[in-house]
Amino acid sequence: MTNNRRQDRVGALIQRELSEIIQRSLKDPRVEFCTVTQAEVSPDLKYVDVKVSVIGDEAQKDSTLAGLKSATGFMRREIGRRLTLRYSPELRFTLDESVDNLMRIDELLRSVESDDDSLTSP
């Protein structure tokens, strides 16, 4: 249980540092509309699965992932420099689709609500 709590703490630290690195240190225009939503650390602290949310269409999302992957070495060095970890973890980026899913659900609920209003109004 203690190890799991350490994973969570390290994940939160990495998420915060990555967010700052992406916003302030990366000069790549492909990653402008990117937000780190989660950083899940492996039990041995050698890998981090980073979920990012991207505002834009599929082309923008693909471009952002490509930009993040090309800057992985730089971000990994920065994480190693900023945090006192034995190993600088390998970063693996994936898209976080939860925001898109929430927007889709909201849109569906609004359409159902408007259909109900049109049925009840004379």
The CATH number linked to 19 is: 3.30.300.20
Q: Is residue 102 part of a domain?
A: no
Q: Is residue 111 part of a domain?
A: no
Mean pLDDT of the chain: 88
**Token output for 7:** 């994973």
Q: Is residue 36 part of a domain?
A: yes
Q: Is residue 35 part of a domain?
A: yes
Q: Is residue 67 part of a domain?
A: yes
Q: Is residue 115 part of a domain?
A: no
Range of the domain at 24: 2-97
Residues in the chain: 122
Q: Are strands 34-41 and 47-54 parallel, antiparallel or unpaired?
A: antiparallel
The predicted pLDDT at position 99 comes to 75
Q: Which residues contact 80 (CB under 8 A, 6 or more apart)?
A: 88
pLDDT by residue (tens digit) across 50-98? 999 998 889 999 999 999 999 999 999 999 999 988 889 999 999 998 8
Q: pLDDT at residue 121 above 60?
A: no
Rounded to whole angstroms, how far apart are CA atoms 27 and 37?
A: 20
The predicted pLDDT at position 21 comes to 95
pLDDT by residue (tens digit) across 3-47? 689 899 999 999 999 999 999 999 999 998 899 999 999 999 899
Q: For the chain, what is the HEC assignment?
A: CHHHHHHHHHHHHHHHHHHHHHHHHCCCHHHCCEEEEEEEECCCCCEEEEEEEECCCHHHHHHHHHHHHHCHHHHHHHHHHHCCCCCCCEEEEEECCHHHHHHHHHHHHHHHHHHHHHHHCC
Q: How many domains does the chain have?
A: 1
Q: Is residue 51 part of a domain?
A: yes
